[in-house]
Amino acid sequence: MISSLKGTVISKDQKSLVLEVGGVGLRVSSTNNTLTKAKKDATISLFTHLVVREDALTLYGFTDKETLEFFELLIGISGIGPKTAVAILNVAEPETIRKAVSSGDTSYLTKVSGIGKKTADRIVRELEDKIGTLEEGTSVSEEVDAVEALRSLGYSQAEAREALKKVPQLVTGAGERVKAALKILGR
């Protein structure tokens, strides 16, 4: 199993990047968050998961171990393949998904293309024992509302999520979190 890679980004598209490692170019599929961090001709380290199929070997890579571990939890659920797991991680950070699962908020998971109510219920059921309980602080719906408000103001989903990560947990309410995130984005 290939568990990590470090190399130079030689190209990237909307779903993957090509990482040159020891003179070999490896295509690595990933989330929007990782692809945003990967700059062409820059060196990057990725935690990876190799998916072996009869007709393909596909590498999935992430900049942090938490995202990789959550990806592996998701693909361990019956009916959730690697592409669906990446789609889930493109919609929200692992922490936000963890909060949604802990609070039983399936409506958040149904925002992912291809996931209906039944699949969202199954994800919640299968993950609730495997992940921590909901922490004090921001609710899932507040975080979703804040991201959507920032997107409506012209920021990308990745920019919105990065800014909201930097907002202290003491700031509650979608409106207040958006104001604080706008200050961060304006720097």
CA proximity to 159, closest of 127, 186, 123: 186
Q: What is the pLDDT of residues 46-92, one digit of tens each?
A: 999 999 999 999 999 999 988 998 899 899 888 899 999 999 999 88
Domain spanning 65-127: which superfamily?
Answer: 5' to 3' exonuclease, C-terminal subdomain (1.10.150.20)
Asked if residue 136 has pLDDT above 50, the reply is: no
Q: Give the residue with greater pLDDT, 138 vs 64.
A: 64
pLDDT band per the 50, 70, 90 thresholds, residue 135: very low
CATH fold of 4-62 reads: OB fold (Dihydrolipoamide Acetyltransferase, E2P) (2.40.50)
Structure-token match 């399936």, residue found: 106
Pair 114, 123: CB distance under 8 Å = no
Q: What is the pLDDT of residues 149-158, one digit of tens each?
A: 888 899 887 7
